[in-house]
Homo-oligomer: A and B are copies of this chain.
């Protein structure tokens, strides 16, 4: 059962809900606060045997907007009946993650040299982009391949980010100690930038890691879909994070593993953008680099990677994670799929045009029902 409070409700409303809840044996109330860019929404989850708990005592509390009974599925992240209006999203270090804007996370799949990091950050600054991706911890299929520079590179990565006005660095972690290393390095850098913890596709069902990421509140999370499991299983995995207390999650589609996607590296799954938006309240990110995995282009001159970004955006994705590299041919990891720095401005223009088209079709009301998303 979820007790939804009015936006920006004072703490006293939460207290009142907790008091009422305490009357029902075995029921554990757990408040969830979602700080959006415009207002804060608080919901109190009633866990346990709530089937016999009546909704009226909660509905009568002033400041309570609605009480909904929810099925087990996606209890925290789900878009439940009656929550259609609920604004999704959050703010972190000055950057907004919701459906009203698009964030372009362009950067290095794997951090290799200071020079390349510096070139990348400078290129972003020239374009006015404040978000990037930087891989320090690289899980690789083969144990003898380059595994990333790890904690050693964090100081100069964060320093470079701060110097160029980068506000958020998306960075994969594969072990809880990486979170500590990142927190420490950030502090030592004077919090020069912020970090979004990325859960990689291979750890999509590493529930112990998910729980640890869910228990910390310092960093928001970018969760990448598991490449060989269903969408439903991946959404359930996100629920592990959220149910531990951290609701600041962006869900990232990155392609699935099947030969039917050949000649692309993976089978692009961006048709699931509207599905994730319907089933949950999470903003949706697309990762075209790992999905496509190659640099080809049709005769129109736009690389497949651009085309797939467009496919994500035209369906309402609001974040893009994309690999760039100053010298793709020399990258230590996934070079063939990296765009060149010269393509960054073009990508930004491309993104803008397609996003405008998405805004237009929604405004135009071309759907079968009135829209509620301002964009």
Contact A373-B343, Cβ < 8 Å, known A307-B273, A307-B314, A357-B353: no
- B-facing residues in A262-283 (Cβ within 8 Å): 262-264, 267-275, 277-278
Cβ A274 vs Cβ B307 within 8 A: yes
Contact A257-B274, Cβ < 8 Å, known A143-B243, A300-B362, A301-B371: no
Chain B residues within an 8 Å CB radius of A264: 271-272, 275
Cβ B311 vs Cβ A271 within 8 A: yes
- B-facing residues in A194-250 (Cβ within 8 Å): 202-203, 205-209, 226-233, 236-237, 239-240, 243
Using an 8 Å CB-CB cutoff, how does the interface string of A141-163 with B read, 1 for contact, 0 for none? 11110000000000000000000
A306 on the interface (CB 8 Å rule)?
yes
Sample (26) of A-B pairs whose CB atoms are under 8 Å apart: A141-B237, A206-B209, A227-B229, A260-B269, A267-B267, A271-B292, A271-B307, A273-B307, A274-B297, A274-B304, A300-B316, A300-B362, A300-B371, A300-B372, A301-B370, A301-B372, A302-B361, A303-B368, A306-B366, A306-B367, A307-B314, A307-B315, A311-B311, A314-B314, A346-B367, A353-B361
List 12 extra interface pairs beyond A73-B142, A230-B262, CB under 8 A: A174-B206, A174-B207, A226-B228, A228-B260, A267-B271, A278-B296, A300-B371, A300-B372, A301-B369, A310-B315, A310-B361, A314-B357
- A residues at B contact (CB < 8 Å): 72-73, 75, 79, 84, 139-144, 174-175, 202-203, 205-209, 226-233, 236-237, 239-240, 243, 256-264, 267-275, 277-278, 291-292, 295-304, 306-308, 310-311, 314-316, 339-340, 343, 346-347, 349-350, 353-354, 356-358, 360-362, 364-373, 375
